[in-house]
Chain A
Amino acid sequence: MSKLMKIFTGDSFILSLVAIIMGLILGALVMLIGGYDPFEAYSALITRVYGDSYNFGEAIREMTPLIMTGLAFAFAARTGLFNIGGEGQFLIGMTAASIVGIHVQGLPVYIHAPLAVIAGAVFGGLWAAIAGYLKAARGVNEVISCIMLNWIGLYLSNMIINNFALLEGENRSVNIQPTASIAIGWLSEMMGNARVHWGTVIALLAAVFFYIFMWKTKQGYELRAVGFNQDASKYAGMNVNRNVVKAMFISGAFAGLGGAFTVLGVFGYQSVMASSPGTGFDGIAVALIGMNNPFGIILGSILFGTLTYGSAGMSFSADVPPEIVRIVIGAIIFFIAAQGIVRWVLKPFYAKRKKEKVL
């Protein structure tokens, strides 16, 4: 419990909080300049998300994949890798889950649904492991290979859906078997048919897994060591290349799970997409807001999901363009990244605190 308290009073938490407040203030200023009422807008945003159970459930649906892509980015970042390929891993995981969900038949729900979820994780992981392997074996910068794999993943997913699962005359796949669904029927009914699903529970467990694996196991220690200093790790007898591939696999598995949830829990089918959904990139923002800490990422996804889902309500009742929340999110990440600015703003407060200690 004291550890938990430490998180909330620690330096980085306060810096994040101030950065968030500064971002919201900046958003308010932009709204004022545009001739909108920021108080009305922000309260419309909050009312939309937390006003009734349906919208609350839908907001949770919005947050869930963000936790997964956020964890994906953070896991790689903790091991010194920059996984910008969450987008592609998300799509490949989604496609794998769709195919298993559609074409595997005659299984009971307690085997079929987990199988589809695991397929998403494995294929998302393998997709990321390609970038890891290319880096380990050939020294190809993972940023560029991930950018390429994002595009390849988009077109490959479309090709698979078009050729193996297309619903005639529609731009989407046929529905998954009911046994592959991970929707929570009774809860959904209670919340006015909001699309809540077990994926949210798995996402929270994934954050716990992230923490335990990274900080409490030998393998996690090795991954972090490789992230800190490759030469020292090699000298200590660790296999750097294998760790790079392993880190990317686990990272991609997180993102792939996010994609699987979207098909199995939310839509029940997969659309043929003209462009990437953007969940992978949003996950980077979530991870940055959460300071690459698994529990910070849960908080970050709550913030991100609230802002994006609430923005629709904001434009509906306060007539503010919903794009304003992208500015707010951008500003928040800016202030978190450029901590020097926040420290500079906080300076007078810190000076005061020190004085009190002296007395």
Chain B
Amino acid sequence: MDVLTIIGQLINTTLVFATALIFTSLGGIFSEKSGVTNLGLEGLMVFGAFAAGVVGHYAQDAGMDAFSAATMGLLAAIVMGTIVSLIHALASITFKADQVISGIVINFLAAGSTLYMVKLLFEGAGETELIAGYSRIAIPYLSEIPLLGDAIFNAYPTTYLAIILVFVSFYVLYKTPFGLRLRSVGEHPSAADTVGIKVNRMRYIGVMLSGALAGIGGATITLTTTGTFSHNTISGQGYIAIAAMIFGKWNPIGAFGAAVFFGLAQAVRNYVQLFAWTQSIPPEVIYMLPYVLTIIVLVAAVGRSSAPSALGQPYDPSKR
């Protein structure tokens, strides 16, 4: 293989891995911009991946073609993620529980309940049955560009959706009244309250959006990478998405860049063994490189974090 082909494939694989992270970190941004920490992204992804695997399987059994079945799975993941995120919202917004803890609760519930349900639905098996999922779609004309065409314009539909949503999220957050309100309840809830914004309602919306997006993120992995849902379909991607969100300074474009960076780090693993000079490096060094780099970048560039000011604090009107 010549170097250009390898680079093209590397970019393509990078986007496959990055897609789930893009969705999920966008979800994290909506929740945290509204002032609610969401450490439950991992669990929400698990629920999304589960819903996509199960519904995708039944839709395919009912005679749908692969694309429609996968889309049914994706929609189910959105519904599932949104519903589960309500647990987090109820505990942390209405009952003013510690937001970090209630996020961890989601992760615990996800690990247990999805596998429990898989075992109920598939007669004791530890994973859902294999489905076809999405296949790559080449965009006409654009995909014929040398190198770039194969690298970027011959991807899964979820990747296109993710990239579109990055810009939609940016527009919604920074150019619409809704976005302004969402950000204001995360920065200064009592000020927002005095001008008539319903703080808790905005926060519920933020958390539910994060549930929906993290659900899609999880579904992406089932529908494009694994084809099944099992206990290790989601293994840490939710936490990486949180890192991508912080890395990207809670900005959709920044999070997108960070997600691509983490995707690249995952993709690189597959190509390390191809060159003689890279074979002498212990593989573990390659594995840990993205995490080391993240820390270095955080130390060097980001410094003091630019998190929403009211992040992590339940809103209590009697204390303003």
Nearest-CB distance from A132 to chain B (Å)? 13
Known: A323-B116, A334-B87. A151 touches B236 (CB 8 A): yes
Known: A140-B295, A152-B292, A321-B116. A331 touches B109 (CB 8 A): yes
List 5 extra interface pairs beyond A144-B243, A329-B112, A330-B113, CB under 8 A. Answer: A138-B299, A143-B39, A151-B236, A326-B111, A338-B90
**A327 near B97 (CB under 8 angstroms)?**
no
| A141 and chain B: residue at smallest CB distance | B305
Q: B107: which A residues are within 8 A, CB to CB?
A: 281
Residue in B282, B288, B298 whose CB lies within 8 Å of A162: B282
Q: A226: which B residues are within 8 A, CB to CB?
A: none
**B282 near A340 (CB under 8 angstroms)?**
no
Please indicate which of the listed interface residues A162, A275, A288 has the most CB atoms of chain B within 10 Å of its own CB: A288
| B87 and chain A: residue at smallest CB distance | A334
Q: B87: which A residues are within 8 A, CB to CB?
A: 334
**B288 near A327 (CB under 8 angstroms)?**
no
Q: B307: which A residues are within 8 A, CB to CB?
A: 141
Is A339 engaged at the interface, CB distance under 8 Å to the other chain?
yes
Is B101 engaged at the interface, CB distance under 8 Å to the other chain?
yes
Nearest-CB distance from A245 to chain B (Å)? 15
Binds B, one of A41-49, A153-161, A251-259: A153-161
Is A9 engaged at the interface, CB distance under 8 Å to the other chain?
no
Q: List 12 A-B contacts (CB under 8 A).
A: A144-B246, A147-B239, A147-B243, A152-B291, A155-B288, A156-B288, A281-B107, A323-B113, A325-B112, A330-B108, A338-B90, A338-B102
Q: A30: which B residues are within 8 A, CB to CB?
A: 113, 116
Q: A281: which B residues are within 8 A, CB to CB?
A: 104, 107
Known: A34-B116, A321-B119. A139 touches B102 (CB 8 A): no
Is B105 engaged at the interface, CB distance under 8 Å to the other chain?
yes
Within 8 A of A (CB), among B74-122: 87, 90-91, 94-98, 100-102, 104-109, 111-113, 115-116, 119-120
Known: A151-B236, A329-B108, A340-B96. A145 touches B284 (CB 8 A): no
Q: A163: which B residues are within 8 A, CB to CB?
A: 282
Nearest-CB distance from B120 to chain A (Å)? 5
A106-141 toward B: CB 8 Å interface, digit per residue (1/0)? 000000000000000000000000000010001111
Distance A97 CA – B295 CA, assembled complex (angstroms): 26
Distance A166 CA – B287 CA, assembled complex (angstroms): 19
Q: A29: which B residues are within 8 A, CB to CB?
A: none
- Nearest first, the 6 closest Cβ-Cβ pairs linking A and B are A326-B112, A330-B108, A340-B95, A159-B284, A330-B109, A327-B112
Q: A334: which B residues are within 8 A, CB to CB?
A: 87, 91, 102, 105, 109
| A27 and chain B: residue at smallest CB distance | B112
Is B232 engaged at the interface, CB distance under 8 Å to the other chain?
yes
Is A148 engaged at the interface, CB distance under 8 Å to the other chain?
yes
Is A25 engaged at the interface, CB distance under 8 Å to the other chain?
no
Is A211 engaged at the interface, CB distance under 8 Å to the other chain?
no
Residues on A close to B: CB < 8 A?
Answer: 30, 34-35, 82, 84, 134, 138-141, 143-145, 147-149, 151-152, 155-156, 158-159, 162-163, 275, 281, 284-285, 288, 321, 323-331, 333-334, 337-341
**A140 near B298 (CB under 8 angstroms)?**
yes
Is B242 engaged at the interface, CB distance under 8 Å to the other chain?
yes
**A327 near B305 (CB under 8 angstroms)?**
no
Is B225 engaged at the interface, CB distance under 8 Å to the other chain?
no
Distance A145 CA – B303 CA, assembled complex (angstroms): 12
Q: A155: which B residues are within 8 A, CB to CB?
A: 284-285, 287-288
| A151 and chain B: residue at smallest CB distance | B291
Is B294 engaged at the interface, CB distance under 8 Å to the other chain?
yes
- Majority secondary structure, A binding face: helix
Distance A198 CA – B150 CA, assembled complex (angstroms): 59
Known: A140-B298, A147-B239, A329-B108. A159 touches B285 (CB 8 A): yes
Distance A84 CA – B303 CA, assembled complex (angstroms): 20
Q: A158: which B residues are within 8 A, CB to CB?
A: 284
Q: B319: which A residues are within 8 A, CB to CB?
A: none
Residue in A134, A339, A340 whose CB lies within 8 Å of B299: A134
Residues on B close to A: CB < 8 A?
Answer: 39, 87, 90-91, 94-98, 100-102, 104-109, 111-113, 115-116, 119-120, 124, 232, 235-236, 239-240, 242-243, 246-247, 282, 284-285, 287-288, 291-292, 294-295, 298-299, 302-305, 307
Distance A182 CA – B107 CA, assembled complex (angstroms): 34
| A321 and chain B: residue at smallest CB distance | B119
Known: A333-B101, A338-B102. A323 touches B239 (CB 8 A): no
Known: A144-B246, A152-B292, A326-B112. A139 touches B98 (CB 8 A): no
| A33 and chain B: residue at smallest CB distance | B120
Nearest-CB distance from B258 to chain A (Å)? 11
| B103 and chain A: residue at smallest CB distance | A337
Q: B105: which A residues are within 8 A, CB to CB?
A: 330, 333-334, 337
Q: B39: which A residues are within 8 A, CB to CB?
A: 84, 143
Please indicate which of the listed interface residues B91, B106, B307 has the most CB atoms of chain A within 10 Å of its own CB: B91
Known: A34-B116, A323-B113, A341-B95. A284 touches B104 (CB 8 A): yes
**B299 near A338 (CB under 8 angstroms)?**
no
Known: A147-B239, A148-B295. A327 touches B116 (CB 8 A): yes
Q: A139: which B residues are within 8 A, CB to CB?
A: 303-305
**B303 near A138 (CB under 8 angstroms)?**
yes
Q: A284: which B residues are within 8 A, CB to CB?
A: 104
Nearest-CB distance from A317 to chain B (Å)? 15
Known: A140-B299, A144-B246, A288-B101. A330 touches B112 (CB 8 A): yes
**B235 near A275 (CB under 8 angstroms)?**
yes
Nearest-CB distance from B307 to chain A (Å)? 8
Residue in A162, A323, A331 whose CB lies within 8 Å of B284: A162
**B288 near A152 (CB under 8 angstroms)?**
yes
**B232 near A337 (CB under 8 angstroms)?**
no
**A327 near B95 (CB under 8 angstroms)?**
no
Nearest-CB distance from B306 to chain A (Å)? 11
Distance A275 CA – B287 CA, assembled complex (angstroms): 12
Q: B282: which A residues are within 8 A, CB to CB?
A: 159, 162-163
| A328 and chain B: residue at smallest CB distance | B112
